Amino acid sequence: MRIGFIGLGRMGSGMAANLLKAHHEVTVYNRTPEKTAPLVRQGAKAAANIAAACHGDCVITMLANDEAVEEVVMQPGGVITSLAPQACHVSCSTISVAMSQRLADAHAKANQRFVAAPVFGRPDAAAEHHLFILAAGESSAVTSVMPLLDAMGQRTFTVSAKPQDANLIKLSGNFLIGCVMESLGEAMALIGKAGLDREAYLAMLTSTLFTAPVYKTYGSMIATDTFEPAGFAASLGFKDVRLALAAAEELQVSMPFASVLRDRFLALLAHGGGDLDWSAIGRGAADDAAIG
C-alpha cells in the first residue's frame, strides 16, 4: 500500500520503520524535518509538508496530544483537506475520546475513512514489533488497514465500530498501569520503612501472584528509585490520566483511584518531575512517609 506517516517521535520512528520492513511504500513527514533522515535511509520518501504525505491510500498519524492532532489534521493544509475521498486516516495517537469523535465526524463529512488505532508499548516495543494495537472504526475500514496494523504490532484487537472506543480503552489501560505503579509505590513504602529490601520483595511478588511484565518493569524502577531516562514522561502520563477522568466525567463514572493518580502526578509536576518516567509517581508514598 502507498501510505503516509506523520509524526516521527520515538514511537512513530519505530512504527514507520516496521512498515518499510513489510515492504509498504511510505512517505514520512515530521514537523522538525531532521527526523526523516534515518527513515529515508531505510527507503522512505520525505514529504515537504502534511499534504504531500496524504496522497496515498492511507495516512497514519502518531502525535503527542490533542493539540498536535488538531493542528496536523484539522487546519487548512492538514489531513482533512489533503486526503482523497475514501482514503483512510489511521490515528495511532493517544488522544481524548472527544477529539477522536471529532476526527470521526470530520472525516465522515469529507467522505474519508477513519480508524482509531492507539497502541500499548514503549519505544523499544515499537521498534521491535511488539506493540499491541486497539483498532476501532467501520468494519471495512479496519479490514483494509489491517495489513498495516499487522506490520506495526504483534497483535491487533478490533474493539468496536466506533473509533473513539479504542481511545477510551487505551486510556483505561494507561489508568490500569498507573494503578500498578501507585499500588507498588505504597506497598514498597510500607515494607521499605519496616526495613525490608524492596528488590527482594519485588522479586517475590513477580514470581508468585504478580507475574505480569508491568509489575516487573515499573516495580524495578520504583524499587531502585530509577526514573531516568524516561520511557514515557510523567507529563504525558498525567495527560492520559486527565483524559481518562474527562471521559469518565462525560459518562458520569467516578474513579477514586484515578483521582489519587491525578494528585500524585500534580505533586510530581509541581516539584519539577515532568520529564521523569511516569513511574516516578510510585515515589510519592515514600516521600510522604519521609523515606530517605
Q: Are β-strands 119-120 and 131-136 bridged in parallel, bridged antiparallel, or unpaired?
A: antiparallel
169, 221, 230, 233: which one binds a second copy (CB under 8 A) = 169
- When asked if residue 277 is in the footprint of a second copy (CB under 8 A), the reply is no
- When asked if residue 88 is in the footprint of a second copy (CB under 8 A), the reply is no
- When asked if residue 214 is in the footprint of a second copy (CB under 8 A), the reply is yes
> How many angstroms separate the Cα of 64 from the Cα of each of 110, 211, 235?
24, 30, 11
- When asked if residue 218 is in the footprint of a second copy (CB under 8 A), the reply is no
- When asked if residue 98 is in the footprint of a second copy (CB under 8 A), the reply is no
H-helix segments, 154-233: 163-193, 198-206, 213-223
* Residues that contact a second copy, how many (by CB under 8 A): 70
Residue given cell 515532568 in the structure block = 274
**Do 8 and 30 form a contact (C-beta atoms < 8 A)?**
yes
Which residues neighbour 60 within 8 Å (Cβ) at sequence distance 6 or greater? 3, 4, 5, 6, 15, 16, 19, 89, 90, 91, 92, 148
- When asked if residue 116 is in the footprint of a second copy (CB under 8 A), the reply is no
Would you call 170 a catalytic residue per the annotation?
A: yes
Residue with Cβ nearer a second copy (84 or 176): 176
- When asked if residue 290 is in the footprint of a second copy (CB under 8 A), the reply is yes
**x/- letters, 138..167, toward a second copy (CB under 8 A):** -----------------x-x-xx----x--
| Strand spans (E) along the chain | 2-6, 25-29, 45-46, 58-61, 88-91, 113-116, 119-120, 131-136, 153-160
Enumerate binding residues for a second copy (CB under 8 A).
120, 132, 134, 155, 157, 159-160, 165, 168-169, 172-173, 175-177, 179-180, 182-184, 186-187, 189-191, 193-196, 200-201, 204-205, 207-215, 242, 244, 247-249, 251-260, 262-264, 266-267, 269-272, 285, 288-290
Active site residues: 170
